[in-house]
Amino acid sequence: MSPARPGDTPASASRSSAPVLVFDSGVGGLSVAAEIRRQWPQLSLAYVCDNAALPYGTKPDDWLIPRIVQVCVAAVEASGARALVVACNTASTLALTALREALSIPVIGTVPAIKPAAALARARQSAARREKCEPPVFALLATSATVRRAYTEQLIRDFAADCRVIRVAADPLVAEAERRLRGEPARPEVVAASLADLAAVEALEVVILGCTHFPLLGADISQVLGESRVALVDSGAAIARRVAEVLALGTAAQAAYQQVAQAAQQVAQAAQQVAQEAEPQVAQAVQPAPREHLALATDARQPGLATALASQGFAAPQALSFDD
Catalytic residue among 49, 72, 88, 163: 88
- Burial environment of residue 84 by CB neighbours within 10 A (0 to 12, 13 to 18, 19 or more): buried
What's 104-134 look like in SS3? CCCEEEEECCHHHHHHHHHHHCCHHHHHCCC
Between the CA of residue 163 and those of 25, 109, 113, 141, 225, what are the distances in Å? 31, 25, 14, 16, 19
Selecting among 49, 72, 163, 211, the annotated active-site residue is 211
Biggest alpha carbon distance in the chain?
78
The CA distance from 294 to 201, in Å, is 43
**Whole-number Å distance between alpha carbons of 242 and 23:** 16
- DSSP letter at 279 equals -
The full DSSP string for 241-271 is HHHHHHTT--HHHHHHHHHHHHHHHHHHHHH
Which positions ≥6 away from 166 have C-beta within 8 Å? 137, 138, 139, 140, 198, 201, 204
Residue pair 52/305 in contact (Cβ under 8 Å)? The answer is no
Closest CA to 244 of 29, 13, 15, 39: 39
- The answer to whether 211 is a known catalytic residue is yes
Cα–Cα distance for residue pair 95/188, rounded to 1 Å: 33
Alpha carbons 140 and 64: distance in angstroms, whole number: 22
In the beta sheet, which residues pair with residue 319?
Answer: 297
SS3 label, residue 100: helix
**Catalytic residue list:** 88, 211
